[in-house]
Structure formats: structure tokens, C-alpha cells
Amino acid sequence: MKFNLIKRLIDSQKQIKERIGVPNTVLLLSFFTGVLGATVAIILKNLLHFTSGILYKAFPEAQMNYLYLAFPLVGILLTLVFVKKVVKDDLSHGVSIALRKMFSSGGKLRVHHTYSSMIASSLTVGFGGSVGLEAPIVLTGSAVGSNLARLFELSPKNTRLLLACGATAALSTIFKAPIAGIVFAIEVLMLDFTATALLPLLISAATGTVLSILFLGADVMISLPHVSSFHLQNIPYYLILGVLAGFVSVYFMRTMRSVEKTIKKISNIWVRAVLGGILLGGFIFLFPVFYGEGYEYINALVNGSSGMQLFERSPLYGFMNHYLFFIIVFIFLILFKVIASAITTASGGVGGVFAPSLFAGAFLGFFLSEICNHFIPVSLPTVNFVLAGMSGVMTGVMFAPLTGIFLIAEMTTGYELLIPLMITSSISYIVAGRFEKHSVYTYPLADEGCLKTHNKDQFAIQALDWKPLMDKNIQTISIHATLRDYTQCIAHSKRNLFVVLDDDHLFAGLLVMDDHRDIIFKTELYDTVKIEELMIHPELFIYDTDSGEEVIRKFNKTQNFNMPVITINREYLGFLSKAKVLDEYRDTIVEESDN
């Protein structure tokens, strides 16, 4: 019965493809990806509210109940049990997982990614983990699109496209920002921006946004603030904010890596989880704003809060009357948020850095406007700087300026802020790019040497797998052989290249027949001329550990058409042809092209 149902499903999807064609199939699936991607995003947000609601009903005196400090530990342990015992796969850094699959497996994500990140992240964040839901939502939406493409047996190119459609739909749903969702797919997921890709992305983004309005209402994560008009005299302060946002972004990325690396040195995952949960509880005890995603505190800032209300549940509240202490605590909030987030993920929690980067940016913008308004005779619009700071830090952390600009503009309908957002984001991007080569999402992939980029040439070189191209049919000859032995090899070979091996059967040199035409017919020299006298020593070798980029560099440097491949111990492996390497490079370019 089950087998017949599966068979009918397979037959029906084949009929659809044959009847309407692959391009129309992709458009149809982009709509369903939008529907399902939006659905999982809505479900995940409701799971978070459901988990938080249960805790609030069980412990209603949240403001005074110190059990809330233990909830992050409970959430991390529950998440770890689910991941290790049920899923048995890596769920950390969801966007990086999607990126890795875009590059390494033609966009194929596992089926469990359509639900596992939702459950795990709702446990982590619902119990107060100091991370965001955006990365798990993006991974879940991506998995929906990827698995729909696999069901219809689409090509790797179209599978990657539907993966991006799922991410676009999910992001558009949670922020009601369709343009930002599309730009995210292009900037962060590195999807090629072509006419072929644009229409499916538009369909998924629009579908997700409409469903978000229907089921989540008109409000977005950030309440609509009162945005002040842009004034030219504030440009210098936006420039300063951009510089600060760039440095905060660099600090954010480096601290995230450092803290995660330090915590993961603890080999026992359960000890790591307990230690991380206790540390996180300590942070939340001092700074209650670190509990959960933090959007309620961002909302407080964009809706005119003086900042004092954010510390009502903190033991530091009594000292906040001192302005200098108030400012110092705000600096700590900006710097320590990333530490709290890194502790959450490194100790076993599941979540993303999207919300933490927005949190850090919001508090940075508030901090700068507060300092300037207090010490300088200016009147900077605090809300504008909070929003611009969010865009700036997110841009610097993700290396995605357009995503940062349009996300804040769309989710706040603050298009009056476009110029300040552009200034802050572009400066932040420039500053962060001076110190970091890769974003928080692409760094792990670059570290593994498997990063896909928009540069097709660079991508094709990185993706070049040259080892299967080796020619292993080149004849070998001993270094102690004579010209007579050489002529016998020539008689049984169709090649003009021969490899010379020493007594240990290691590479010693090469024989090129064209160089020896003047003596190979002189029979009187057959037993007197030794191979050692005739062989040449190549100036460069290709080693079996060389990357595709290194192989092409060596071919270009020597101008050779063929080069020997050896190990570091000079063991001969085969010959590599420049023509074959360039053919493989060209095929990769063609495969990646939409033309």
C-alpha cells in the first residue's frame, strides 16, 4: 500500500514536469515553497510563544522568580538531548549549513532539516537562550525548497534555486520584508542574480509576506516607530556610527569564534552544556535583556525608552542613577551580547546570530545618540540611530549591506531612513572588510576550503577536482637503463613522454622523445648511453596536495602542456594535462551558468 502511494507520487510529478516543462515546474514549486516556507516560519514563531507561555503560566512571577535563571540551562539540555538522541546531526549555524549544501551537494538538504531546527531552536530560545530564530527558520525554509526540488528530480541548479526560494519565503514571513528576503538569497546564500532566478524568488517572497500578514497580523517583530526626517547636518554622526558599527561587527565575529572555540575544548558535551547553561544564567542575572531573542528590548528603544526601564529586573538597577555607570553598562550590553550568544550555541543550543547582531546594533545606535545628545549641543533622533545601528552591525557581521538596508527599511516602513541606512551600512561594510575576509556565515566554509562565491572563475577553480583527470598510462623506465631499453619503450608506446624512476621507484626525471630524435637511430650508442644522461629535471611538480588554484598557477608559470604529479616523498602518481584541467574548469563554469 505504502509502496503504491510512493509510486503514484513519483509518476504524478514526472507527468507534471513533462506536461508543463521544467521552467514552469520551477515557478509552480516556488509558489508551494513560499507557502510551506511561510508555514514553517509561522509555526516556529508560535512554538516559541507556546514554550514561553507555558513557562510564564507555570512561573507567573517572572520578574522576581530566580528560577528563570535556570531556564536557559534546561533549554540547552533539552535541545542537546533532542539533537544527539533524536536527530543525530549537526544543527548549529543553520545558514552556514544551507550555504555548505549550496556548494557541496547541489543544494540537497536532508529531510529532517524541515522540522529538526524548528523544534531545537524553539527549546533553546523558548527557555531563554540568547540567540535568534532566524537562522533555524532560514534553514527550515531552505530544506523545504530543497526537498521539493529533489521530489521532482530537478537539476542541481534548480535545486539550489528552490533552496534559496525557501530561505527567501521564511525570511520574508518573519520580517514582512520581501525585498530583504530576495536580497538575502543573493548576498548571503550567493545565488546568481539572473532573470531565471528572479521570478521564482519574487513568487516565494510575495507568498511568504502575504501569509505572514494573514496569520501574524500587521505588526512585525519591531513595532512601527516614529522615524524623524533625514537632516544633512546629521551625516557626520551617521558616518561615526558606521565606523563604530564596523568595529563592533569585527569584534562580534572574532569573539563569537573565540568563545565557541574555547568552550568546545571541553570534550564532554554534557559537561559543556551544564557549564554553558550556568554561565548564561549568570549573564542573564546581571543583564536580563539577554534572556531570549531580545526583540522586546529593541522595541523599547525604538519606541522612545530612556534605557532605564531595561534594567528594572537587574541587580544593577539601583546604580543606574549615575550617568557614567549607566553608559558603562550600555557598553557592556553591546560587548557581552555576542558572548552570551556564543555560549548558548557552543554549549549545545540551536539558534542564529541574526537577532544578536540587530540587538548589538540597536544598543550601539542608542548609545551614540545618547552620548552625543548629552555632551554635545545637538539633538540627534534616537530612533533613527537605533535603526541605523541595527542595519550597520548586521551588515558588518553578514557582509550583506543591501540586506541590512532593506530589512530595516521594510520592517519599519522607514523609507525616510534610506540615506542614513546607506551611509551607516556602507561604512560598516568597508571597515569590517578591512579586518575580516569572510562573514560570520562564510568563515566556517572558507576555513574548510569549500566556499562558493559569486565570482564564477574563483568558484570554478576552488571546485576543480583534478585528481580524476590524471593520466596513469605514461610508461616508466629505470634510471640505470640504456638507450636500447629506451628505444624498446618507444616501440611499445604511443606517447612521447616517459617517466624515469630511481632505485626506490621514486620520481627521478623525464624523457621527452622529441629531444632525442638525433640519437635514437644510432645503434652504436644503444649500450653506451645511459638514461641518466638523457633525462631532464622539471622545474616544478604538481603535488597530490595541491589545490586547483595552485595547479593552474603552476601550469601558467611553466607554460607546460603536461606536468608530473608526485607525492611529497617523490612517489610518482601520474601525469596531468593542461587541456584536461581547462576543460574541467570550463565545464564547471557552464554548469554554474544560467545561460
Domain boundary among 186, 216, 246: 216
| Whether the Cβ atoms of residue 337 and residue 357 lie closer than 8 Å to each other | no
Whether residues 238 and 346 fall in one domain:
yes
Nine-digit cell string for 218: 500587521
Q: 112 exposed, middle or buried (CB, 10 Å; 0-12, 13-18, 19+)? A: middle
**What range defines the domain where residue 189 resides?**
2-216
Whether residues 203 and 259 fall in one domain:
no
Residues 6+ apart with CB under 8 A from 39: 211
Q: Is residue 222 part of a domain?
A: no
Whole-number Å distance between alpha carbons of 395 and 249: 8
Whether residues 242 and 187 fall in one domain:
no
Whole-number Å distance between alpha carbons of 178 and 170: 10
Q: Is residue 452 part of a domain?
A: no
Whether residues 201 and 262 fall in one domain:
no
Kind of pairing, strands 507-512 and 497-501? Answer: antiparallel
Q: Is residue 302 part of a domain?
A: yes
Q: Residue-wise pLDDT tens for the chain (595 aa)?
A: 444 544 455 556 656 666 777 788 889 999 999 999 999 888 888 888 777 777 777 666 544 457 667 889 999 999 999 999 998 888 878 888 888 888 777 788 999 999 999 999 999 998 989 999 999 999 999 999 999 998 888 888 889 899 999 999 999 999 989 999 999 998 888 777 777 789 999 999 999 999 988 887 766 667 666 788 888 999 999 999 999 999 999 999 999 999 999 998 999 999 999 999 999 988 888 888 898 898 888 888 888 777 677 777 777 777 777 888 888 888 999 999 999 999 999 999 999 999 999 999 999 999 999 999 988 888 899 999 999 999 999 999 999 999 999 999 888 766 778 999 999 999 999 999 999 988 998 888 777 666 665 555 666 666 677 888 888 888 888 888 888 888 888 888 877 888 888 888 888 888 888 888 878 888 888 888 888 888 888 888 888 888 877 888 888 888 888 888 888 888 888 888 888 888 877 776 666 554 3
| Nearest residue to 220 (alpha-carbon basis) of 356, 414, 5 | 414
Q: Is residue 454 part of a domain?
A: no
Segments of 337-393 assigned E as strands: none
Q: Is residue 411 part of a domain?
A: yes
* Domain tally, the chain: 3
| Nearest residue to 174 (alpha-carbon basis) of 49, 27, 303, 330 | 49
Residues 6+ apart with CB under 8 A from 375: none
Max distance between CA atoms of the chain, in angstroms, equals 105
Whole-number Å distance between alpha carbons of 389 and 364: 6
CATH assignment at residue 548: 3.10.580.10
Whole-number Å distance between alpha carbons of 152 and 594: 19
Whether residues 436 and 333 fall in one domain:
yes
**Residue 7 confidence (pLDDT):** 47
Whether residues 443 and 468 fall in one domain:
no
CATH assignment at residue 24: 1.10.3080.10
Whether residues 191 and 261 fall in one domain:
no
Q: Give the torsion sign (CA, 355, 356, 358, 362).
A: positive
Whether residues 427 and 287 fall in one domain:
yes
Q: Give the torsion sign (CA, 430, 179, 251, 102).
A: negative
pTM above 0.85, yes or no: no
235 CA to centre of own chain:
32
Query: Residues 464-476, buried b or exposed e (16+ Cβ, 10 A)?
Result: bebeebbeeebee
**Residue 590 confidence (pLDDT):** 65
Nine-digit cell string for 41: 516560519
**Residue 75 confidence (pLDDT):** 92
Q: Is residue 51 part of a domain?
A: yes
Whole-number Å distance between alpha carbons of 582 and 592: 15
| Nearest residue to 368 (alpha-carbon basis) of 235, 225, 237 | 237
| Whether the Cβ atoms of residue 287 and residue 128 lie closer than 8 Å to each other | no
Q: Is residue 227 part of a domain?
A: no
- φ and ψ of 497, to 5 deg: -115, 140
Looking at residue 480, its amino acid is H
Residues 6+ apart with CB under 8 A from 423: 235, 238, 239, 242, 388
Q: Report the Cα–Cα distance between both ends of the chain, in Å, rounded.
A: 43
Whether residues 481 and 437 fall in one domain:
no
Residues in the chain: 595
Q: Give the torsion sign (CA, 468, 470, 476, 480).
A: negative
Domain boundary among 414, 447, 480: 447
Whether residues 268 and 134 fall in one domain:
no
- Ramachandran quadrant class, 506 (left: phi over 0; alpha: psi -120 to 50; beta: rest): beta
Distances (CA, A) of 516 to 16, 485, 507: 64, 14, 20
Whether residues 159 and 286 fall in one domain:
no
**Residue 595 confidence (pLDDT):** 38
Whether residues 442 and 474 fall in one domain:
no
Q: Is residue 316 part of a domain?
A: yes
Give the H or E element holding residue 509: strand 507-512
